[in-house]
Structure 1
Amino acid sequence: MLKKLKLDSRYIKEIDFGILICSILVLLYGALNIYTVTRSKVGIYYVKLQLIWLVLGLVTTYIILLVDYTLIQNFTSLLYWGSVLMLLATRIIGSTVNGAQGWIALGNRAIQPAEFAKLGMIMMLAKKLDEMEGDINNPKNFFTLCFYALIPMLLIVVQPDMGMTMVCFFIVLGIFFTMGLNIKVILGGIMGLATSIALLWNSSLIKPYWKRRLTSFLNPEAESLGIGLQATQSKIGIGSGGIFGTGAGLGSSSTSYVSQFVPESHTDFIFAALGEQWGFVGAIFLLILYGIIIYRSINIARTSKDIFGSVICIGLVSVFLFSILQNIGMTVGIMPITGITLPLMSYGGSSVLTNYIAIALVLNIGMRRKRINF
């Protein structure tokens, strides 16, 4: 029994430890920044929970590495439809957080099914593309892929969770583009999306609060005491960090500006905390860690032994690229505020766990891309 729980040393040598180490460093870096903005109110409460999620994420990673990802592929449909059912469940028993009915309470904790649906969608698209042998420009294949992508996206739209919907769209766009979809089809899809957004914008699905939140970045100072408060205060906090940061919030008696004046500074606006604490140098350090994860994941995608593995890697890269751009962009006022978390940096159990599941799959794909003789 114990032998089944032990990873063969020949596989261990093939693990991309660069991705794993950088992911741990990002999370620990995030935990430190979470501490600086929450310690004056709740002590180490959020930091402790975040570290617990790190341990659970690493345990989950190890378990996934024990199983050949081609065997996991056989359970893709179960994982996909299971996540869809979870999204449907939010319509009945879901809790509303920040205007979106997208959480399911489990005792005094809650999970966000959309995070798992995002992962399920990536795996289902990878499975179907593998079965199609990558022939994405076949009309039947293309519409089949769109069908599986639209189901979770529509269920996320009606929550409404605009941020996660955008993430899912860019996952699909990244996969379709990388797999060689005709550029005319991609442009047509973007135009169709723009039309859909225009229709949704004038429907009752998007509430006035969301419209103001999405457009406030264009002129946050006009509503600096209302919907534009986060963006305005976030920019002040980041700007105060300068080159090397203020270090406020690290001392026993100091309190950071961001912790006092930026709502959601431990989740959506964690980059504002980083900017104030560590400045430009600290921000560059984070981007280097992200760059290593993305670069190495792309290399694994390029050398994967099958399409299923390549597409999963592309999906992770798409999630990281867009989430990083959108989250940092909204904290510095160049992107709309959408509630997208910064991968592994922001506080959140569902986000941390699903990110580690995705990273584990990428590591699994990388360690099994070569034939190993036993």
Structure 2
Amino acid sequence: MLKQYRIRDYDFKLVLLVISLTVIGIFAVGSAKESMQKTQIAGFILGLFLMLVLSLFDYSVLLKLNWLFYIGNFVLLALVAVMGETKNGAQRWIELFGIEFQPSETAKILLILFYAQFIMKHKERLNTFKNIGICCILILPPLAFIFKQPNLSTTIVLAVVFCVIMFVGGLHWKIVSSVLAVIVPVFVITLTIILQPDQSLIRGYQQTRILAWLHPEEYATTEAYQQLNSIMAIGSGQLEGKGYKTNVISSVKNGNFISEPQTDFIFAVIGEEFGFVGTCTVIILVILITLECLLVARRAKDLAGSIIAAGMAGLIGFQGFLNIGVTTGLLPNTGVTLPFVSYGLTSLLSLYIGIGFVLNVGLQCKSKY
């Protein structure tokens, strides 16, 4: 499983970018909720170790376990539905062998690995009705389990990552355009239905979040409260921010105007304390990590490597866009974490494991760009 690699082929740039973003996250978490900073640091150290170890294992060998990844993921998500722990009205966590974690986060990585091998094995016949149908059928159970938790944001992220995987896997442009021709009107119709008072497609609180996004002034003291305060916090930071762990009385964070600022709204804390400079730094790092993964995907020795790297690029890029879009009011409140920055050990470790695979893909690339 271990191979001989050249040190000069190791993607130290990607490692540095990921570490830089994580360190910013550790500082931000420490300011948002100091009691969680040590746990985040421990997660960073463990994640870094797992990333380095996995980067030296031949991904081609590990991908032979792809069906084990899929079945294991299915079992974990099913256990959440049966015996998962409920927090804040959502059943997303499970405890096994004394360790509590969130299988919907590990699902993102496990499914990328599963499809990388599955699509490469059937790449010559991917554009047949049979294989496209199989790929779609296999993604439905994880999406259904995660949606029922309820966890709409992760369902959306996973669906987007699946689309990226299929496109990189070689899905024909004619099929892509045909699907888009169907999806766009269906999306418009679905959104119209969702906005109706008696709709049953999504839960009531999810509908209220969309309405609060469309009409924030009508929900200023309820559902739009956090987003409006988040925008206020980011704007109040101006160019350089109010300073790390600011004790300014008017601070949105200190006034507890944002619940759980260490997770979904960590970007607001960064904006308030580090200003425009801090938020731009985070955005640039997310973009650079995404682009670096895409560059690795272009140079991969095989299709499986391309899918792994592109899948991680899609995951990090889209989830980052979703989180920042929510905190700045560009998107409805979906409750998704900011990759490598928000507090959450399962999310952090899963991302580092994914980057470990990307690094190994990079070590076996055909040639340098």
TM over 0.5: yes
Taking structure 1 as reference, are residues 336 and 134 closer, same or farther at Cα in structure 2, changes over 3 Å only?
A: farther
What amino acid does structure 1 have at the position aligned with 2:252?
Y
Superposed counterparts of 1:170-181, under 5 Å: 170-178=160-168, 179-181=170-172
Partners of 2:124 and 2:338 in 1: CA distance: 31
**When the two structures are superposed, what TM-score results if normalisation uses the length of structure 1?**
0.89
Match of 1:257, SS state, is coil
C-alpha contact (below 8 Å) 1:233/1:258 kept by paired residues: no
Aligned to 1:218: 214
Root-mean-square deviation (Å): 2.4
> Aligned match of 1:314 in 299, 310, 324?
310
Residue 304, structure 1, aligned to residue 297, structure 2:
no
| Inter-partner Cα distance in structure 2 for 1:222 and 1:200 | 18
Change (3 A) 1:204 1:94: farther
Deviation at 1:169, TM superposition (A): 1.1
Q: 1:244 to 1:227 in 2, by over 3 A?
A: same
Provide the C-alpha distance between the structure 2 equivalents of 1:335 and 1:303, rounded to a whole number of angstroms: 34
Task: Determine whether 1:340 maps to 2:330.
Answer: no
Measure the CA separation in 2 of the matches of 1:56 and 1:287.
25
Unpaired stretches in structure 2, ≥5 consecutive residues = none
Which amino acid in the other structure matches residue 186 of structure 1?
A: V
The amino acid that maps onto 1:353 is L
The code of the aligned residue for 1:292 comes to: L
Q: Which amino acid aligns with 1:47?
A: Q
CA contact (8 A) 1:34 1:270 kept: yes
SS at match of 1:221: helix
Match of 1:42 in 2: none
Distance in structure 1 (CA, Å) of the matches to 2:109 and 2:246: 36
Alignment check: 8 A CA contact 1:64 1:364 kept: yes
Deviation at 1:65, TM superposition (A): 2.0
Matched, 1:141 2:137: no
- Amino acid across the alignment from 1:122: I
The secondary structure found in structure 1 opposite 2:276 is: helix
Task: Tell me the residue number matched to 2:11.
Answer: 16
Give the residue type in structure 2 aligned to 1:215.
Answer: L
Which range moved further: 311-320 or 130-139?
130-139
2:289 aligned partner: 293
Residues 1:364 and 2:354 are matched in the alignment = no
| Offset, 1:207 | 2.3
2:55 is paired with a residue whose SS is helix
Aligned counterpart, 1:71: 61
Counterpart among 86, 90, 112 of residue 96 in structure 1: 86
SS in 2 for 1:234: helix
Asked if residue 26 in structure 1 is aligned to residue 16 in structure 2, the reply is: no
Amino acid at match of 1:359: I
- Could you tell me how far 1:273 is from its partner in structure 2? 0.4
Residue deviations 1:341-374, cap 9 Å, x none? 0000000001001100110110010101249xxx
**Match 2:176 to one of 183, 198, 203:** 183
SS of the counterpart of 1:13? helix
Q: 1:127 to 1:196 in 2, by over 3 A?
A: farther
CA distance in 2, matches of 1:197, 1:110: 35
C-alpha separation between the residues in 1 aligned to 2:65 and 2:112?
13
Verify the 8 A CA contact 1:160 1:206 in the aligned structure 2.
no
Q: Deviations over 1:49-97 (max 9, x none)?
A: 0010111111111221231000111111111110111000011111123
SS in structure 2 at match of 1:117? helix
TM-score when normalising by structure 2: 0.90
Compared with structure 1, are the counterparts of its residues 197 and 222 closer, same or farther at alpha carbon in structure 2 (3 Å cutoff)?
closer
- Preserved CA contact (<8 Å) 1:221 1:232: no
Aligned mates of 1:31, 1:189 — CA distance in 2: 43
Q: Is the 8 A contact 1:121 1:148 kept in 2?
A: no
Task: Please give the alpha-carbon distance, in whole angstroms, between the structure 1 residues aligned to 2:194 and 2:114.
Answer: 27
Question: Is residue 240 of structure 1 aligned with residue 240 of structure 2?
Answer: no
Change (3 A) 1:108 1:235: farther
Following superposition, the deviation at residue 113 of structure 1 comes to 0.5
How much does 1:206 deviate?
A: 2.8
The 8 Å contact of residues 153 and 168 in structure 1, kept in 2 or not, is answered as yes
Q: Equivalent residue for 1:258? A: 253
Q: Please list the CA deviations of residues 214-247 of structure 1 after superposition, one character each: whole Å capped at 9, or x if unmatched.
A: 3321222322221111101101101101111111
Specify whether residues 188 and 140 from structure 1 end up closer, same or farther in structure 2 by C-alpha distance, changes over 3 A only: farther
Shift of 1:258: 2.2
2:263 corresponds to 1:270:
no
Q: CA deviation at 1:150?
A: 1.5
CA apart distance, 1:336: 0.9
Could you give the per-residue CA deviations for residues 254-279 of structure 1, whole angstroms, max 9, x where no partner exists? Answer: 78422421112100000000110111
How many positions carry a matched residue from both structures? 360
CA distance in 2: counterparts of 1:134 and 1:224, whole angstroms: 54
| Local SS of the residue matching 1:186 | helix
2: CA distance between counterparts of 1:53 and 1:367? Answer: 25
Q: Is 2:203 the counterpart of 1:207?
A: yes
Q: Distance in 2 between matches of 1:107 and 1:258?
A: 36
Per-residue displacement from partner, 1:30-56 (whole Å, max 9, x unpaired)?
Answer: 1101111223xxxxx211000101111
